[in-house]
């Protein structure tokens, strides 16, 4: 996959991205908010990236002007909340060095557009742990609708039991929104 935005591009992840991934995945500001433990060494980062590459679910977010991986975005087809076909669930994280520049909003919008125009997916779902306000804001800016809170959603690596808020957008809602935006422009 290769999606080109104004400032970022999304492409298949490669083993060569391991160092860039490790640079931010070791931070305790990034992984824990998404539910994973900070990556303790480059060796482990290489293993994690290899797993991502094999899964084919996780894509690289590259900052065009630096030609550098600054985050990842995942498109899961398995283990979605909804128990029917044609559903995808998104996950994402970004190097804390690049937060609050709108990069993840740009990435998520590119991916939504790709999924609804190039695949037969009908619903995209996304969630965040309760209290993850940055993620909530990205999700809202990308046009998702709030579905509700799942209490005691997950037990984290540190034993904490967290609630999670979930959102979704349908293909019809996406098409309607695109049309409205064209009319407004």
Ligand X SMILES: CC(C)(COP(=O)(O)OP(=O)(O)OC[C@H]1O[C@@H](n2cnc3c(N)ncnc32)[C@H](O)[C@@H]1OP(=O)(O)O)[C@@H](O)C(=O)NCCC(=O)NCCS
Told to check if 168 binds ligand X by CB under 6 A, we report: no
Of 26-34, 48-56, 60-68, 147-155, the segment contacting ligand X by CB under 6 A is 26-34
Task: Give whichever of 102 and 143 is closer to ligand X, judged by the CB atom.
Answer: 102
Closer residue to ligand X (CB): 65 or 120: 65
> Residues touching ligand X: how many (CB under 6 A)?
20
CA distances from 93 to 1, 69, 74, 113, 130 (A): 18, 11, 9, 19, 16
Contacts (CB under 6 A) with ligand X, residues 112-151: 128, 132-135, 137-138
User: Measured from the CB atom, is 18 or 93 closer to ligand X?
Assistant: 93
Among 35, 36, 37, 58, which residue's Cα sits nearest to residue 129?
35
Which CB sits closer to ligand X, 123 or 126? 126
The DSSP-derived string for 52-88 is HHHHT-EEEEEETTTTEEEEEEEEE-SS-SS-SSSEE
Min dist. Cβ of residue 36 to ligand X (A)? 9
């Amino acid at each position: 996959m290769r999606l080109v935005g104004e400032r970022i591009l999304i492409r298949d992840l490669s083993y060569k991205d391991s160092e860039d991934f490790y640079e931010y995945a070791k931070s305790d500001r990034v992984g824990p908010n998404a539910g994973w433990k900070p990556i303790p060494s480059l060796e482990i980062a290489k293993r994690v990236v290899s797993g991502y590459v094999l899964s084919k679910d996780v894509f690289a977010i590259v900052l065009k002007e630096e030609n550098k991986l600054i985050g990842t975005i995942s498109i899961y087809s398995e283990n979605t909340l909804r128990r029917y076909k044609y559903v995808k669930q998104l996950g994402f994280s970004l190097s804390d060095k690049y937060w609050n520049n709108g990069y993840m909003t740009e990435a998520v919008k590119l991916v939504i557009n790709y999924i609804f125009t190039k695949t037969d997916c009908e619903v995209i779902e996304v969630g965040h742990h309760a209290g993850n306000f940055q993620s909530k804001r990205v999700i809202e800016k990308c046009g998702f609708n709030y579905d509700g809170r799942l209490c005691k959603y997950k037990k984290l690596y540190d034993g904490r039991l967290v609630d999670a808020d979930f959102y979704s957008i349908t293909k019809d809602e996406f098409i309607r929104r695109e049309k409205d935006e064209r009319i407004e422009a």
